[in-house]
Chain A
Amino acid sequence: MTRSSLLGQRALALGIGMASIAVSLLLTALIILAVGASPLEVFNKVTEGIGLTPTGLDMVRFSGVVNFWIPLMFVCTGLLVTFTAGLWNIGVEGQMMFGAVCATWVAQEVFLPTVVQVPLEMLAAALGGAFWAALTGLLKTRGGVHEIFGGVAMNNLANIFSIYLISGPWGNQGGQATPPFRQETLLLPMSSEFRVSAVALILMAVVFGGIFLALSGTRWGLELKAQGHSQRSALLLGVPVERNVLLAMALCGFMAGLAGSVRVLFTYGNLRPLVSGGIGFLGLLVVLLTGTRALWAPPIAFFFAAILGGSTRLKIALQLDQSLAGVVQGILVLMVILANGVRGRLRGRHPAQAPEPSASLEAEEAAIHG
């Protein structure tokens, strides 16, 4: 390929990328106008919510963004594994919630020094999440139930179970939440200004790095990629497909459980209904955008966390529903996916790779037939 045509393609890709973002912003502005609000005012409130003020960065608000980013990155790390293996782990929300329930149980029932207590809570959450995910994996490998349906059902069951606990055995406060946890059971902020847990942040970085290396530099990572591309061929090549499916699911659930533990042990300090707050689904959107290019996950996740953190002020400041964050994120992802297609067409090349994990004929058939 000549140098100029390569440059031309780069320019084309950049142009289409910019266009898709511009269209997303335009659509968002129209939607805001439709409910009778001012897009400019919304934009101001969102940037304010992120902590960007004329006088500089408001650290307290900025840490709100980081506190969405940390659990989101745990989830994305796990989802990179399942996406590589060609699995749609839609059940990640439920895995977060079940992890949070397990952490809550330890926080309420176990009394140990903080240095043992908190790791124990997080471990319980991770194992709980892994268990919840493995159930969905088993439904798929042994029961022939596609992980999308198994996952959706398990999400709802985890949510209902946590509501049951809150409104019954673990509840006070009229069924809104469990009582606040003891101070010794919580993750603590670094400072009163930068209200972020150092433990969670470091653990997140370590876990992400580890998974990145495992996926890109080991035989196992290659196996996952192979079966993500085509389960049947992977099987023929001697890849233990079923074991890898279960392992990938459990690993993702492990991360989701950690994300859930951060939500209860740091963000809220107690267990609430829908404690995952849509972060699991958001993780799926992030990984849809990055595909298997894992290094893109941190910045994209941060951008999405900023939208989420920024929009928390919309309700109080402008009486606007917070679902605007989801609208913006959804439109952006949709536009980028469509833009990929447009780019593929303009290039005139054969099928642009479908966003991972592509429901290839084999995978889909195998999944449905079991």
Chain B
Amino acid sequence: MDSELARVLGSVVANATPLVIASLGETITERVGVINLSLDGSLQLAAMVAFVTAYASGNAMLGLAAGLIAGLLVALLILFSNIALRQDQVAVGFVLTLLAADLAQFLGQNYTRIPGPTFPTIPIPLLRDIPFLGTVFFNHNALVYFSFILLAATWFVMYRTRWGLALRAVGERPAAAFARGTNVTRTRYLYTAIGGALVGVAGASYSLAIKAGWANPAVMRGDGWIALAIVIFGGWHPLRVAFGAYLFTGLRALASTIQQTTEFPLVLVNAVPWVLMILTLLLVSSGLVERLMLLSPPWAQRLLRNFLRSAPPVALGTQFTRE
């Protein structure tokens, strides 16, 4: 009854979930002016912690909570060393990228390739029966639905509430936000914690749903970097970031489908994500877009500018000190 296309799109939506959640988390963190570079390591650590906790307790929800806390702690450590100890966010983030990945591998060594609790598929009543869309969007596990809600909520809070205004102000002009009465330090801690927790949830969504279980080397290795690149590709805007995550997952799926029907060597398919990463970053960073815009008619210029404009938060990666 389901068309082939609907099932393929449904699996893209499911497989994109960790990337969507992680890159939205990172978007929140970066919009408040903080770079959490550790994603590639923290995703692995959160996935391992979530799996081991779920396995030991027999409860996937507990696993999710543990993964969330792991992601949150790593993010807070980066910000603490930046705010309280005045160390560079990128340097600490890089060390934690390596450390978290090694920790995951070492602490998870006795839990590899064994089955554990997972999040079951829960078809949404009524909505599931909508032709096509039901298969694409409403026949998934709870974490996939969470990513839908998260996307809407992130956009709404960021652009339609006072909190979102404060969040963006702190990331763009912390001194001005401070003068207006916003507590810069507290705002940064709050949203870095939320962003880090989401990275933790993303990690857990691998080991408890998308790629159930834990393995050495971790199956999600590399996705953290992809998520960081998607944030740039998406111009730090939640909707475009999520679009980037879906697009990326779709292209990855397409590449492996093409490989199966041609002589193209299997190992080289693994290169596709990285080639895509370079090309998309080139597209948004090289000024190519601006040049293209000048050549296109005015109506297209406005459209392109809205869609491809990509400027990082002005205060990204910097420190704020009250003088």
B90 near A88 with CB under 8 A, answer: yes
A256 to chain B, nearest CB (A): 17
Is A167 on the interface with B (CB-CB < 8 A)? yes
Stretch among A69-77, A233-241, A350-358 lining the B interface: A350-358
Q: Nearest residue in A to B321 (C-beta to C-beta)?
A: A351
Residues from chain A with a CB closer than 8 A to the CB of B274 are 152-154, 156-157, 160
- B267-289 interface with A by 8 A CB criterion: 267-268, 270-271, 273-275, 277-278, 281-282, 285-287
Q: Nearest residue in B to A156 (C-beta to C-beta)?
A: B274
A168 near B285 with CB under 8 A, answer: no
Is B299 on the interface with A (CB-CB < 8 A)? no
B216 near A359 with CB under 8 A, answer: no
A359 near B88 with CB under 8 A, answer: yes
A354 near B85 with CB under 8 A, answer: no
B270 near A153 with CB under 8 A, answer: no
B105 near A330 with CB under 8 A, answer: no
Instruction: Name the one of B94, B222, B270 contacting A284, with C-beta atoms under 8 angstroms.
Output: B94
Instruction: Name the one of A144, A164, A345 contacting B267, with C-beta atoms under 8 angstroms.
Output: A164
Instruction: Name the one of B85, B96, B229, B271 contacting A342, with C-beta atoms under 8 angstroms.
Output: B85
Task: Please tell me the size bucket of the interface on B.
Answer: 35 or more
Is B21 on the interface with A (CB-CB < 8 A)? no
Q: Nearest residue in A to B87 (C-beta to C-beta)?
A: A341
Stretch among A113-121, A263-271, A316-324 lining the B interface: A316-324
- B1-56 interface with A by 8 A CB criterion: 35, 37
A323 near B105 with CB under 8 A, answer: yes
Is A300 on the interface with B (CB-CB < 8 A)? no
Q: For the complex, would chain B's binding face be called helix, strand, loop or mixed by DSSP majority?
A: helix
- B210-247 interface with A by 8 A CB criterion: 216, 222, 225, 228-229, 232
Residues from chain B with a CB closer than 8 A to the CB of A323 are 102-103, 105-106, 109
Is A197 on the interface with B (CB-CB < 8 A)? no
A167 near B267 with CB under 8 A, answer: yes
Per-position contact with B for A329-370: 1 when CB-CB < 8 Å, else 0?
A: 011011001101110110000011011001101001100111
Is B107 on the interface with A (CB-CB < 8 A)? yes
Give Cα A31–Cα B107 distance, bound, in whole angstroms. Answer: 7
B267 near A163 with CB under 8 A, answer: yes
Give Cα A174–Cα B60 distance, bound, in whole angstroms. Answer: 39
Give Cα A195–Cα B265 distance, bound, in whole angstroms. Answer: 39
Residues from chain B with a CB closer than 8 A to the CB of A331 are 99
Residues from chain B with a CB closer than 8 A to the CB of A35 are 106-107, 109-110
Residues from chain A with a CB closer than 8 A to the CB of B107 are 31, 34-35
- B285-323 interface with A by 8 A CB criterion: 285-287, 311-312, 314, 316-319, 321
Residues from chain B with a CB closer than 8 A to the CB of A364 are 316-318
Residues from chain A with a CB closer than 8 A to the CB of B98 are 281, 285, 326, 330
Instruction: Given the known inter-chain contacts A144-B286, A288-B91, please indicate yes or no for A153 contacting B278, CB distance below 8 A.
Output: yes
9 A–B pairs (Cβ distance < 8 Å), ordered by A: A31-B103, A142-B286, A144-B285, A150-B281, A285-B98, A324-B106, A327-B103, A337-B87, A351-B86
> Which residues does A use to contact B, with CB under 8 Å?
31, 34-36, 88, 90, 139, 142-146, 148-150, 152-154, 156-157, 160-161, 163-164, 167-168, 281, 284-285, 288, 320-321, 323-324, 326-327, 330-331, 333-334, 337-338, 340-342, 344-345, 351-352, 354-355, 358-359, 361, 364-365, 368-370
Q: 9 tightest CB-CB pairs across the interface, nearest first?
A: A341-B85, A330-B99, A326-B102, A144-B285, A354-B88, A323-B105, A153-B274, A321-B109, A323-B106
